[in-house]
């Protein structure tokens, strides 16, 4: 009996520590995704090549399997994203390894996500239910829309929104729409002038301004199923602003 009385405080302490540890593990927040846009000193030519010096030193992030969050093990379909900016423009670059590069869409605001595309969701006002959606196909076709309700999206209505000054370019290392050969890679440059997003285009404060952002890719190789990749995986549909990452601007 005396032995139990002496051990009882120790048992209770171990039990309490275990409860706290389990609670902390359960409540541990999702790791934050942050990307820093490198500050460009030279002119960026939007040609899809990502060959200016700033792209070489810009932070590179890797997309993951959107449903599981797993690393993409097959290097032939891995996707990388970089960002940079100057005093007027945010630039986003995608590098998509891809053995089968194709797209049948030819007109702006066609439903690119049904085939192959890269996507950017950008929220500059900190209102999570409103953000711009940008998609670019391997044929350099653009889809741009403004989302006001991520749960119930009126695609036709949102697609009437157009970014007036956006520029995009695609470079293909392979043969677009030749389905029987093996391609290597396509890269995308997107130029987003601040004037398209901000009432005051001079409102960017390097080191302080933060925007919410996420990057995606839809890939559908010959004979395979369509696969979605994401920087900050959503687990299901892409439109989940609560898991968007953060974009900051290098000083």
pLDDT in tens, 183-242: 999 999 999 999 998 888 777 899 999 999 999 999 999 988 999 999 999 999 999 999
In this structure, is residue 23 part of a structural domain? no
Asked if 176 and 140 touch (Cβ cutoff 8 Å), the reply is no
Domain assignment present for residue 159? The answer is yes
Joined tokens for residue 205: 């404060």
Work out the mean pLDDT of the chain and round it to a whole number.
89
80 token code pair: 């990388």
Per-residue confidence (pLDDT) for residue 14, from 0 to 100: 34
Q: Is residue 5 part of a domain?
A: no
Q: What is the CATH number of the domain that holds 104?
A: 2.60.40.1190
- Retrieve residue 77's tokens: 């379909």
Average pLDDT over residues 153-163: 96
> Which tokens is 131 given?
């953000």
Looking only at the bridges linking them, the beta strands covering 34-39 and 89-97 are unpaired
> How far is 131 from 194, CA to CA, in rounded Å?
14
Could you say which DSSP state residue 5 is in?
H
For residue 8, pLDDT over 80 is answered with: no
Decide if 9 is inside a domain: no
Alpha-carbon Rg for the chain in angstroms: 22
What is d(CA 133, CA 123) in angstroms, rounded to the nearest whole number? 9
**pLDDT one-digit tens code per residue, 92-110:** 999 999 999 999 999 999 9
Domain count across the chain: 1
Q: Is residue 11 part of a domain?
A: no
Q: What pLDDT is attached to residue 26? A: 42
High-pLDDT (> 70) share of the chain, %: 88
pLDDT at 200: 81
State the residue range of the domain holding 91.
31-249
* pLDDT tier, 9 (very low <50, low <70, confident <90, very high otherwise): very low
Question: What does the pLDDT look like over 38-95, one tens digit per residue?
Answer: 999 999 999 999 999 999 999 999 999 999 999 999 999 999 999 999 999 999 999 9
pLDDT over threshold 60, residue 135: yes
Residue 1, in any domain of the structure: no
Q: Does residue 22 fall inside a structural domain?
A: no
Average pLDDT, integer, range 30-35:
77
């Amino acid at each position: 009996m005396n032995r139990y009385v002496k051990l009882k405080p120790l048992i209770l302490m171990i039990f309490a520590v275990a409860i706290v540890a389990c609670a902390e593990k359960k409540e541990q927040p999702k790791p934050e995704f942050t990307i820093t846009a490198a500050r460009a000193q030279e002119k960026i030519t939007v040609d899809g090549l990502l060959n200016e010096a700033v792209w070489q030193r810009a932070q590179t992030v890797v997309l993951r399997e959107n449903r599981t969050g797993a690393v993409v093990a097959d290097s032939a379909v891995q996707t990388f994203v970089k960002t940079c900016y100057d005093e007027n423009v945010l630039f986003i670059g995608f590098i998509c390894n891809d053995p089968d590069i194709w797209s049948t869409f030819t007109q702006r605001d066609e439903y690119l996500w049904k085939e192959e595309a890269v996507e950017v969701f950008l929220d500059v006002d900190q209102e999570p239910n409103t953000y711009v959606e940008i998609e670019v196909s391997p044929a350099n076709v653009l889809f741009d829309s403004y989302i006001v309700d991520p749960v119930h999206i009126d695609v036709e209505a949102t697609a009437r929104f157009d970014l007036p000054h956006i520029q995009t370019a695609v470079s293909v290392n392979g043969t677009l729409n030749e389905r029987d050969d093996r391609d290597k890679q396509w890269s995308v440059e997107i130029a987003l002038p601040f004037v398209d997003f901000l009432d005051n285009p001079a409102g960017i404060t390097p080191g302080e301004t933060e925007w919410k952002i996420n990057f995606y890719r839809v890939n559908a190789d010959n004979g395979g199923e369509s696969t979605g990749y994401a920087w900050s995986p959503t687990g299901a549909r892409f439109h989940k602003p609560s898991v968007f990452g953060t974009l900051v601007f290098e000083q």
